[in-house]
Amino acid sequence: MQPRPLSMQEVLDMLDPQRIAKFLHVEVPIRIAERIRWIQDIPNWEEIQELRDIHTSHMKVFRDLRLVQRRPTLDAFTAVVQHALHAQQPVRHKVALAMHRLHTQRGEEFGSDFTDPWADDFLLNCIGTEMLMSQYLACVTMEDSGARQRGHAMAGIIDPDCDVAQICRETAMKVQEITEEHTGRCPFIQVEVFQERAIPRFSYIPGFLRFIMTEVLKNSCRATAEVAKSDRDVQKRPINVIVCADDHEVAIRVSDRARGIPFGVGQKVWSYLYTTAGKGPSNYGQHATSLAGYGIGLPLSRLYARYLGGSLNLVSLPGYGTSVDLFLRRVNANQVEIVPDNDADDSDRRS
């Protein structure tokens, strides 16, 4: 069976926990089975510890979801979904570790030409199941609290009136605290809003936007703190966040003055094999912190943007700084989630 991507209207129409549970009960195991098959398609995948771990956890979640009953109440089903969502949290880091280990142990056969598309598809599939399960649990919470009957503004995890500028400001403060904790310096972040044509509020998933902005701002803050010679020099290198919109898109530009990305790095920032934290195959991930992680922040942020039809791009000016442009489509009724389907891709190639 193939995964069935949902339109946003279908997601918004399934605010009733019983209805969305019925869909999840069938759809999530299909998507998990896809990921299990992708792991098993890697030759000798059992030799890679992280792939074994992911495979084991996926098999358990698959079995639990297939066996759990939705009657007479949703309590057992909800518990299984909560466990499944929790079990998925370490997967993104394990995928990065697995890609590094594959490349280290087997060489260029598993270089970025293999690892990056594989990880993109795997993690984009994960984002889809994360959205479905989070939406279900949010709907259950709303039902239990009576929020839906009181006309609560949120539609599950989707905010019909998402305040982009406020999320950017809140995220900036959080990232400043993280940067100061790890470097002793606090870069200045200025958030500007331009709303001549349209107010930059739109229907979106706030959690996704917070994740993207956190990763982008962490990169800029860390680079600024490292390149500055003094606290005074840090203040001379402000990070600017510009939020603007039209009738179709909301755009966010994050620009810094941290001298740009080294010439030899270039597009490697989008690769799961690249990281500036704990370089080298033997200690990959050992020095990951809340500021400098596993080399997965930017590529994963691009996937979160892409999931609902957006994009994330980067331009570096050598010796000056870096600008990251995030474009997010206004979520509309006809917009369909992007869910990788290798069976469909293979069929297209054969036709």
Q: What is the pLDDT of residue 160?
A: 86
Q: Give the rounded percent of residues in the chain with a pLDDT score beyond 70.
A: 87
In this predicted structure, what is the pLDDT of residue 178? 95
N-term to C-term CA, the chain? 19
Q: Which residue has the tokens 């905010």?
A: 159
* Residue 146 domain-assigned (yes or no): yes
| Sole residue written with tokens 């474009």 | 327
Task: Identify the pLDDT of residue 347.
Answer: 45
Same domain, 313 and 173: yes
Whether 337 maps to a domain, the answer reads: no
Q: For position 68, what pLDDT does the model report?
A: 96
Rounded Cα distance between 121 and 118, Å, is 5
Determine whether 140 is exposed, middle or buried from the number of CB atoms within 10 Å of its CB (0-12, 13-18, 19+): buried
Q: Is residue 336 part of a domain?
A: no
What's the confidence (pLDDT) of residue 197?
61
- Name the nearest CA neighbour of 299 among 332, 324, 318: 324
Domain span at 68? 8-156
Do 176 and 243 share a domain, yes or no? yes
Tell whether 107 and 219 lie within a shared domain.
Answer: no
Task: Determine the pLDDT at residue 214.
Answer: 97
- Residue 264 sits in a domain whose CATH number is 3.30.565.10
Same domain, 140 and 223: no
Q: Do residues 105 and 167 share a domain? A: no
Are 29 and 76 members of one domain? yes
| Helix segments in the chain, DSSP class H | 8-13, 17-40, 49-67, 75-88, 91-106, 112-145, 164-183, 206-227, 231-235, 297-307, 342-350
What's this model's pTM, rounded to 2 decimal places?
0.90
- State pLDDT tens for residues 231-271: 999 999 999 999 999 888 899 999 999 999 987 787 889 99
Total number of domains in the chain: 2
pLDDT at 328: 93
**What does the pLDDT read at residue 292?**
59
Instruction: Give the domain-ending residue among 100, 135, 156.
Output: 156
pLDDT of residue 264: 77
Task: Collect all residues with Cβ–Cβ distance below 8 Å to 29 and sequence separation of at least 6.
Answer: 62, 65, 66
Opening angle at CA 23, ends 21 and 26, nearest 5: 105
Domain boundary among 109, 128, 156: 156
Q: Which residue has the tokens 């994330």?
A: 312
140 and 165 together in one domain:
no
Residues 134 and 239 in one domain: no
In a domain, 91, yes or no: yes
147 inside domain: yes
pLDDT in tens, 295-350: 689 999 999 999 989 999 999 999 999 999 999 988 776 678 888 876 655 544 33
Residue-by-residue pLDDT tens, the chain, 351 positions: 788 998 888 888 889 999 999 999 999 999 999 999 999 999 999 999 999 999 999 999 999 999 999 988 999 999 999 999 999 999 999 999 999 999 999 999 999 999 999 999 999 999 999 999 999 999 999 988 765 555 557 889 999 889 999 999 999 999 999 999 999 999 999 999 987 666 678 888 999 999 999 999 999 999 999 999 999 999 999 999 999 998 888 999 999 999 999 877 878 899 998 865 544 444 555 545 566 555 689 999 999 999 989 999 999 999 999 999 999 988 776 678 888 876 655 544 333
**Which residue, 133, 156, 179, sits at the end of a domain?**
156
Cβ(80)–Cβ(64) under 8 Å? yes
